[in-house]
Amino acid sequence: PLHLHCVMANQLVSLRSYYYLGLYDEVIREAKSLGNLSGSVETSRLAYLYRAHVGMRNHDIVSKEITKDFPTVLQVVQLHNTLLTASEQNKSMAIEKLDEMVEDGSMAQDPVFALVASEMYLAAGNVKAALKLVYNGTTLDMMGMTVQLLLSINRVDLAKKHLNKMIQVEEDDTLTQLASAWVNILQGGSKITEALDTYQDLQEKFGSSVLLLNSISVCQIYQGQYVEALSNLGAARDMALKMKAKISPDTYINTMICLQHLRKAPEMIQHIFSDFKKNHPNHSWILKQGEMLKAIEKSKKTYN
């Protein structure tokens, strides 16, 4: 299987780079130019293609094009698409369906299935289930996902071990580079400079994406370079609008952080917050702010 993964990875290496850099237009272009491949490599090509469509919120394309006779892996991408667009009731149904597929066990050895199922669990906020699927993975995608999940629960120590596995497989791969930047950011201190260098190198090589611009701005915020960060966040916002996509939650949050540090008018920050709330009403950050405001109001009443 490892040999097969290597062959698969070689054919799809640029697709993988574009996907993890958030260059979804390029993924779609490259996937089409590769044409129909065979067997598991073809399933992987289609998985990158439709995951990119999900990333671009082309939800109608995904629900229309992935039919019942598509491989199971792509049915999971379809479920993920449902999770992002459906009512609460249908969301739980999508998760239940995924649970059934995972418990069935027949796909357990398929690395692409494990990966897309893990991505869907992460989107649903179930880090434990997501980790279980990819933790002992042998592909760079699964290892990268493992690093991301471990960092989300602050296990930098374990994330570093998995990053070392990625370095042993392919140090120069884009995903390995990105994973090293994620780990460096969470380690902080002088490691922030290393992360910034990595992101800027990737930007030079592949061009800008919303994801790269947001990542660069995070490093600059850590370094207290708020004006530079704000400039990159402005570019990320403009890029999203140009693609007719919603502005990313990261762009909103980091813009508000910069404006606060630069002592900008509260009205300016409030305007961005309102826009964020309108575009992403169910985002965890927005919901948390709502809870905090309720708690403040409640305590005011108690003391008055």
What is the C-alpha end-to-end distance of the chain, expressed in Å? 68
- Amino acid 5: pLDDT: 47
- Amino acid 1: pLDDT: 43
Reported as a single tens digit per residue, the pLDDT across 224-249 is 999 999 999 999 999 999 888 889 99
- DSSP line for 126-180: -HHHHHHHHTT--SHHHHHHHHHHHHHTT-HHHHHHHHHHHHHHHTTSHHHHHHH
Structure tokens at 265: 């008018």
- Amino acid 260: pLDDT: 94
Alpha carbons within 13 A on the beta-carbon side of 205: 15
**Helices 174-187 and 2-20, interaxial angle, to 10°?**
60
- Amino acid 4: pLDDT: 44
Return the ∠ at Cα 235 (arms to 179 and 254), rounded to 5°: 60
Do 200 and 216 meet the contact criterion of CB atoms below 8 Å apart? yes
- Amino acid 7: pLDDT: 47
- Burial readout 200-215 (b: 16 or more C-beta within 10 A, e: otherwise): eebbeebebbbbbbbb
Mean pLDDT for each 10-residue chunk of the chain (304 residues)? 49 90 93 86 92 90 91 90 84 91 86 91 92 93 96 96 95 96 95 97 96 97 96 96 88 96 93 93 85 81 70
- Amino acid 9: pLDDT: 53
- Amino acid 304: pLDDT: 60
CA distance 185 to 165: 19
CA distance 113 to 110: 5
